Chain A
Amino acid sequence: MQTFVSVRPNPLDRAETGSERMTSITINVNGRNWTGDVADTSTPLLWVLRDRVGATGTKYGCGIEVCSACVILADGTLTKTCTENVANFIDKKLVTIEGLADMPPAGSSGVTGKMLQEMWVESQVPQCGYCQSGMLLAVYALLRSKPRPSDADIDQAISNICACGTYPRVRDAIKTLTGQAIAA
């Protein structure tokens, strides 16, 4: 399990300026509770994860829910985090890329989070790697609902933007993991 970097209190925190009331919140990230004061409970979860929890594996790409760089699993559901308020996630179990290695087999596919990661290394899927956190969680969620996804299933479920163009390798890695032939 990834150890989170603890971000020190910040001199510009509203608590110090006294300009706004802080709200204490607790969110459960990868099986651990994180408790902290936030000035604004309308802050999207993404920025609490990145700037406060220190879980920077979840990425910012667009801020308008079109690129899927920011997806995590919230109570098992693939969820974009770049616009939805942190307040909506307080009672949910959140899994980010830092917790993928501990995930059990996705549905009946038999593919664990660890197996997914190993296949990504073996297939040399990432190039720059920036979008791959979201990509991996999207693939994990797909395998849970479709243990042997067809090309059409993959096309429909994997809508993440990857500017490096790793899509052919993502597709082939999914096929290999689920025992399907790769298009020649």
Chain B
Amino acid sequence: MNEMSGFPLKPAPFVTTEEPAQPKADNFKLNRRSFLKASIAAGGGLMLDISLPRASLASKPGEDASFAAGKATLVIGADDSITLIVPGGEMGQGINSALAQIIAEELPLDFTRIRTVPAPYGAQYGTGLQASQVTGGSSGVRGYFDYMLDAGATARSMLVAAAIQKGGDPNTLRAVAGFTDPDSGTWTPNLVRDDAGNSWSYGELATEAASTNPTTSRMSDPDAYKVIGTRMIRPDIREKVNGSAVFGLDVQLPGMKFAAVKHAPALGAKVSTMGAAPAGTLAVNLDTAVAVVAADSWAARKALNALTVTWTSLSYAQQSLVDTATQTGSLNSLLSSTTSAVAEAKPAGTSAATVLSAINSQPRKLNLTYSFPMLAHACMEVLNCTVEPLYAPDGVTVSAINVWCPTQAPDWVVNTVTALLPALPRDKISVTTTLMGGGLGRKIEQDYVAQAVRVALFAKAPVKLMWWREEDFARDFFRPAAVSKIQVGLDANGSIQGWYNRIAAPSVMRSHGFVSPTASYSSFVDSIAVGSAVGNGDEPMPYANAMTRRVVDYVEQKTGFSLGFWRSVGQSISCFAVESAIDECARLLGRDPYDYRLSLLAGNDTMKALLEDVAQLSSWKSAAPPGTARGMALSPGFGSSAAMVAEVTRVASGSTTNYKVSRIFCSVDCGFAVNPDQVVAQIQGGILQGMSSARWGRMQFDHGVAQVKNFSDYRLGRMADTPIITVRIVNQGSPLGGIGEVGVPPVAPAIANAYAALTGTRKRNLPLGI
């Protein structure tokens, strides 16, 4: 696939349109059908634009969350090609093929011949410019589901209408998917046919269909989907096994130059002086970094190393804000500070003092503190961005900017360009989203994009800017460090009479402008930081109903680290604390952790059923293999739920004892699984990312200097570390949920709980180091 050329992306004049309704939050869903626009595709055929809601990330102050976030476009070519231009970024999660699969439920399609293309971004492509086109929050497939069904139904109705105009029998016309004869290899295209023997391929009807009056009447039965819910081969896999897939780092433009970046050794320091660029190269001062532009990537790196740069030094106060040891001390002291914001109080108005008093009056009490390090994203594809500036005839004025970027947020890329070039109209900026070699939340950020734009403008040439791995680690936007203290009071029956959870962590929402900068540090609650520690949020803590009195407090830490969205964000913290603490309660009471959890899940039938399922899947009630113990954890999140069991096995190696995670079982409920095989893939991947970070993940800074330079310092699991993973999808009829993140949070507590069962030793600090 090559997204940079080969497809007529300029919309042809609309021949039939429906006026889009005014997008208002309250009627947005109801009016979604008027968000379809039909036109004749360039080169002939039907082009159907599908306006889409913005992703589920919270809106920033002053933004209107109801604007359409962009659009998908379905093109049925006169040549019988089927192309879906997808607004969500593809980073391995399979959004391209999942959306195509939903359309195919209503519009029969030969799935092996669908081409999916990431949507370019920019006014000339008609994509929305006033709200976020962001791939994140496990929002893509579930957010676009209904829209894709309507698009498929509309396209089918238009093709059938065109067939009627050509003399087809209205009573028996139907659409049929194309197929390749396995013996002869001949292809029968997608057809509209009737019982009178008439048939036309979609391509033969498509141009005329664009002028018909569309209706949106779904034929599919939600209780009996035929295409959705089946295992589909992703059409974009083939290019990933023959080297032709184009990731951001693979973009090549005529006359392109290559830039390498070196940031200040200490986070927060700036360029003081920069020497002359080595011969044949350009050096660019980027304030907190320098870049060198050269003929190829290696030449740029060599010249960068030869460039003389001096940096400003940090004050003592600045250093302490970017020093892991100091910041960890600060988090711990916040646990006992007097200020905090109340994230949840049950019953309403209950104070921390009241709940602590209730806890202290119980016969059994626990006071547990869990700590969490910063984590890096460590995407396999390092950050990179290619920028081509175009100039007016005067050779000075920038007339347009073209960007190719592995980004989860193409319209933020437009904002980044606009901030650097305020005089450049937004419609002169185009962004092409390439495939991403992993996104994981890092590729939402804009730092590397801004650098690439500045360097290309300096070089007045197309430039591909990349960060070498060392920069990618040192200047990540990290999952914040945190501490979470849980105090529990248990009565004689083991019921939880009081639960006090105090979470200290910096705020990712504040650092990303999702809260007013003036929001008080003592009253603002970062919903990301508390995650599912609260029972009153979108993803309630599973055991909340069983707790008579509970208070959750949040204390915000000021820090100098750059923080960001890491796969499963705050739930990677809250899930470990809650599921470890519940396990500790069970062990204190001498109860089986499974039976104890079941006793706390009254009124939470979804989670209870999942827990029972994973217990059955993992043979929880049977003895574990020799030298092995099991631990479990539950995870609500992103519209889905997961229950997990890990097996940890003791491995003698000479005189030392090591541990391995031998098996992981997961029962997951995401409502209806669009492509069950990809749901399993996402859970497998989430488990392995969760396992690596639980066992080894830790990003540390020494007075601003990153202590992780490469994968040799930041261990990711490899084949030999991989447990046998068993995933079962349990659909209990919930609404469609996200699947990219829910598998991550329960891994760490399930492993820690298994380790405690095996060794009797409780590990409360991540990484577990086993």
Contact = CB atoms under 8 A, between A and B. Distances in A.
Nearest to B713: A66
Contact of B244 (A44, A57, A136, A165): A57
B719 A171 contact: yes
B380 A126 contact: no
A130 B382 CA distance: 11
Given A5-B252, A10-B256, A12-B281, A62 B711 contact: yes
Contacts of B94: 127
A115 to B, nearest CB: 11
Interface residues of A, number: 74
Interface string B286-307: 0000000111111100100000
Interface string B463-486: 000001100000000000000000
Nearest to A120: B241
A14 B295 contact: yes
Given A2-B244, A11-B461, A47 B297 contact: yes
A107 interface: no
Contact of B718 (A14, A64, A160): A160
B602 interface: no
Contact of B719 (A17, A101, A120, A154): A154
Contacts of B517: none
Given A62-B711, A163-B379, A124 B243 contact: no
Given A62-B710, A130-B437, A163 B254 contact: no
B257 interface: yes
B725 interface: yes
B93 A127 contact: yes
A104 interface: no
B711 A67 contact: yes
Interface stretch (B124-132, B231-239, B495-503): B231-239
Interface in B244-282: 244-247, 249-250, 252, 254-258, 279-282
Contacts of A92: none
A136 B242 CA distance: 9
Given A8-B255, A117-B242, A128 B718 contact: no
Contacts of A67: 380, 711
A122 B293 CA distance: 42
Interface in B286-342: 293-299, 302
B468 A165 contact: no
A19 B279 contact: yes
Interface in A1-52: 2, 5, 7-8, 10-14, 17, 19-20, 39-40, 43-44, 47, 50-52
Interface string A156-179: 101111111111111100000000
B754 interface: no
Given A8-B254, A11-B255, A39 B295 contact: yes
A105 interface: no
A13 to B, nearest CB: 5
A22 to B, nearest CB: 10
B633 interface: no
A117 B681 CA distance: 18
B689 A163 contact: yes
Contact of B681 (A13, A127, A155): A127
Contacts of A13: 280, 295
B436 interface: yes
A69 interface: yes
Contacts of B598: none
A129 interface: yes
A56 B250 contact: yes
Contacts, number: 218
Given A14-B280, A51-B297, A130 B244 contact: no
**Of residues B298, B468, B712, which shows the largest number of chain A Cβ atoms within 10 Å of its Cβ?**
B298
Interface string B703-729: 000000011100011111010111000
Contacts of A64: 469, 710-712
Given A51-B297, A162-B380, A165-B688, A128 B722 contact: no
B681 A169 contact: yes
A90 interface: no
B568 interface: no
Nearest to B709: A64
Contacts of A155: 719-720
| Residue in B243, B255, B677, B726 with the greatest tally of chain A CB atoms within 10 Å | B243
A128 B382 contact: no
Contacts of A124: 233-234, 237, 677-678, 681
A94 interface: no
Contacts of B719: 154-155, 158-160, 167, 170-171
Given A39-B295, A155-B720, A168-B722, A130 B381 contact: yes
A108 B735 CA distance: 50
Nearest to B720: A155
B252 A7 contact: yes
A181 interface: no
B8 to A, nearest CB: 22
B214 interface: no
B666 to A, nearest CB: 12
B296 A47 contact: yes
Contact of A129 (B237, B678, B722, B725): B237
A84 interface: no
A130 B241 CA distance: 10
A56 B258 CA distance: 14
Contacts of A117: 238, 241-242
Nearest to B377: A163
A40 B297 CA distance: 12
A73 to B, nearest CB: 13
In the A-B complex, the 4 residue pairs with the smallest Cβ-Cβ separation, listed nearest first, are A57-B243, A165-B688, A130-B437, A129-B240
28 contacts: A7-B256, A10-B255, A12-B293, A17-B279, A20-B279, A20-B280, A40-B298, A43-B296, A47-B297, A51-B297, A56-B249, A57-B245, A59-B380, A59-B437, A96-B243, A121-B241, A127-B94, A128-B435, A128-B437, A129-B435, A130-B381, A159-B720, A162-B380, A163-B379, A163-B440, A164-B438, A165-B688, A168-B724
Interface of B: 91-94, 233-234, 237-247, 249-250, 252, 254-258, 279-282, 293-299, 302, 378-382, 435-440, 461, 468-469, 677-678, 681, 684-689, 710-712, 716-720, 722, 724-726
Given A163-B378, A165-B684, 11 more contacts: A14-B280, A14-B299, A43-B296, A51-B296, A59-B380, A59-B381, A120-B241, A126-B240, A129-B237, A132-B240, A156-B720
